[in-house]
A and B are shown apart, each in its own frame.
Chain A
């Protein structure tokens, strides 16, 4: 009976996205090499760059890479929070703003002026203002300052091993923990 239960056990449905990040954390997810095959036994992917599904369905786990930099990031993050039972901040940007937050000492207006008016080679002298263009937040924020976040995996990026350990812990009902060498902020 036990084994029968195990075989019908549903795979965890996982969605992933990158807000303002470099996709390095997603590369790290792929970088777990042959362990991906073990992982795929436990999870299936919903919205993710891997599947190219555009909107997040009801999921067990949402994984967010990147910080919250603009209005579109806010919308995507809310879609994930509303659809996923468990939300994970993956990597330095999602956890503490990361390198994008280095702009936080500067005024957004100055940044845009510098980029569109003063850079050498810029010819248009206008700041794009199409309604399709998302607006920048005055400061880049880690995701837990915008929505409630359940777990955090630091690292830039977290190693494939760290991600695997975290997800397999979650899948098996253990409170996720990283072993010492997996715990990295860089």
Chain B
């Protein structure tokens, strides 16, 4: 490990390749940094802020910060984890996340991070916003109650699928995913379950119809192993 291509994360040297971000290099080196809106193969967009780290004394997103030789990164500290827990709580009270009734439960990255960071309660007062479910597509449904507006579906749809079916619209708490059809319905688009956009959602907002709860409890992705022990899984997923 030469000094030219290493940086320090929580006191441990990590090697990186050119153009790798702090997050990519860390995951590759089996060092977990919490994240939701990053997906390998898609351009990092840095909106969830769960991967907030301190680089040379400054708070920044690990997913959008390029690794540089010799930088010192604070990651797994009580202070940062407290902030990340706060942001998870914000996401939980912003949407309507009812895990017991969600097909994604056990495979959900939001939930897995809540387990990882021991989020025992959403803490803040719930907004209980009325959000829509779009069941117009024959093979998939959208449940906006669960959406965290990370934008991964929009990115996958434009960058990988070249279909531009999803986009983010609105501002502030009214931000939401919209569908690129005159009716605004997914059923009127050329969306297919084989699209990359169908599989990048970190929560249960985009799911196939008629196939919920197929994996028994106990065998789902995050049932037994915390997400922090699954860095390999998180890096081999490819958009």
Contact = CB atoms under 8 A, between A and B. Distances in A.
Interface of A: 89, 92, 95-99, 101-102, 104-105, 139, 141-142, 144-145, 149, 151-154, 156, 177-178, 180-181, 183-186
Given A98-B100, A177-B118, A185-B114, 18 more contacts: A96-B92, A98-B98, A101-B128, A105-B96, A105-B128, A105-B130, A105-B131, A139-B128, A142-B126, A145-B125, A145-B126, A156-B99, A156-B100, A180-B115, A181-B223, A183-B115, A185-B100, A186-B99
Interface string B184-226: 0000000000000000000000000000000001000001101
Nearest to B97: A96
B111 interface: yes
B100 to A, nearest CB: 4
A43 B131 CA distance: 44
Contacts of B130: 105
Q: What class of interface size applies to chain B in its complex with A?
A: 20 to 34
Given A101-B128, A104-B128, A139-B128, A186 B100 contact: yes
Interface in B97-111: 97-102, 105-106, 111
Contacts of B175: none
A92 B100 contact: yes
A102 B101 contact: yes
B121 A152 contact: yes
B122 interface: yes
Interface of B: 92, 96-102, 105-106, 111, 114-115, 118, 120-123, 125-126, 128, 130-131, 217, 223-224, 226
Nearest to B133: A105
Contacts of A102: 96, 98, 101
A186 B220 CA distance: 12
A151 B120 CA distance: 8
A101 B101 CA distance: 12
A99 B226 contact: no
A86 to B, nearest CB: 14
Most buried by B among A104, A177, A184: A184
A186 B105 contact: yes
A115 to B, nearest CB: 20
Contacts of A185: 99-100, 105, 111, 114-115
B68 to A, nearest CB: 34
Majority secondary structure, B binding face: loop
Contacts of B217: 186
A180 B226 contact: yes
B120 A152 contact: yes
Contacts of A144: 121, 123
Nearest to A94: B121
10 contacts: A96-B98, A96-B126, A97-B98, A105-B96, A144-B123, A156-B100, A180-B115, A181-B224, A185-B114, A186-B102
A178 B105 CA distance: 19
Nearest to A180: B226
Most buried by B among A89, A139, A142: A142
Contacts of B224: 180-181
B122 A95 contact: yes
B121 A154 contact: yes
Given A181-B223, A185-B111, A154 B120 contact: yes
Contacts of A154: 120-121
Nearest to B225: A180
State the 8 A-B residue pairs at the shortest beta-carbon distance, nearest first: A156-B100, A185-B99, A152-B121, A152-B120, A186-B105, A104-B128, A105-B130, A186-B99
Given A104-B128, A180-B115, A180-B226, A92 B99 contact: yes
Contacts of B121: 89, 95-96, 142, 144, 149, 152, 154
A67 to B, nearest CB: 11
B117 to A, nearest CB: 10
B174 to A, nearest CB: 16
Most buried by B among A142, A151, A185: A185
